[in-house]
Structure 1
Amino acid sequence: MSSGNPTSDPLEPLNLPSSIRVQADKLLLAIRSGRTLPDTLRAADRAEGFALGLDTVRVLHAIDVEGLYRAFDDAAQIRLAELL
């Protein structure tokens, strides 16, 4: 879902309740600000676990969960490429 614009908000199109949005923003920030490869991977794993938890308890529509996975993965791939 990457638009190629790093300032765009990948969570914008998702239908997220505010409490989930706040946490998702924090997780994205942690991924984007990873100082090392292990830091970034740890943040990405935490974000994936968050999305898995939401999917498990079915608090979001499947398309929104998929959007979260995609946003977290895209952010991790970009940050990992920057660190290499």
Structure 2
Amino acid sequence: MPDFDAMLTPLNLPESVRKQAHRLLNAIQQADSGAELQRAADRADGFGLGIETVRALNPSSLEGLYLVFDRVADMRRADLAP
């Protein structure tokens, strides 16, 4: 299982954002099927879009957050592949 704290710490996220990002990453990591993984990844992307819309993060932290979501989803997708 990836170390989400190590992935998120360099982004200097506010505590509330970090906690929600951690929950979303857990949902991605725990997906049992491709469809469940897609739903979890979509929720993470929606969260990122919301953060972007309210400009709660600087652009580099926001990009880093999207990259972490994508990286974990790609790892999970590889785990689920037959």
Task: With the length of structure 2 as denominator, give the TM-score of the two structures.
Answer: 0.91
1:21 correspondence with 2:47: no
Q: Distance in 2 between matches of 1:62 and 1:51?
A: 11
Match of 2:64 in 1: 67
Q: Per the alignment, in what secondary structure is the counterpart of residue 58 of structure 1?
A: coil
Q: What secondary structure sits across from 2:3 in the alignment?
A: coil
Letter matched to residue 22 of structure 2: D
Which sections of structure 1, spanning at least 5 residues, go unmatched?
none
Considering fraction of residues, name the structure with more helix: 2
User: Which of 30, 41, 54 is 1:33 aligned to?
Assistant: 30
Instruction: Report the identity percentage.
Output: 49
Question: What is the rounded CA distance, in whole Å, between the counterparts of 2:57 and 2:2 in structure 1?
Answer: 25
**Paired residues, what number?**
80
Q: Which runs of 5+ in 2 are unaligned?
A: none
Larger mean CA deviation between 47-56 and 6-15 belongs to 6-15
Q: Paired residue for 2:3, among 7, 19, 25?
A: 7
After superposition, give the CA deviation of every residue in 1:33-70 in whole Å (9 maximum; x if it has no partner).
Answer: 10111111100000011001101110110001001100
Post-superposition offset of 1:15:
1.3
TM-score normalised by structure 1 residue count: 0.89
Structure 1 match to 2:42 = 45
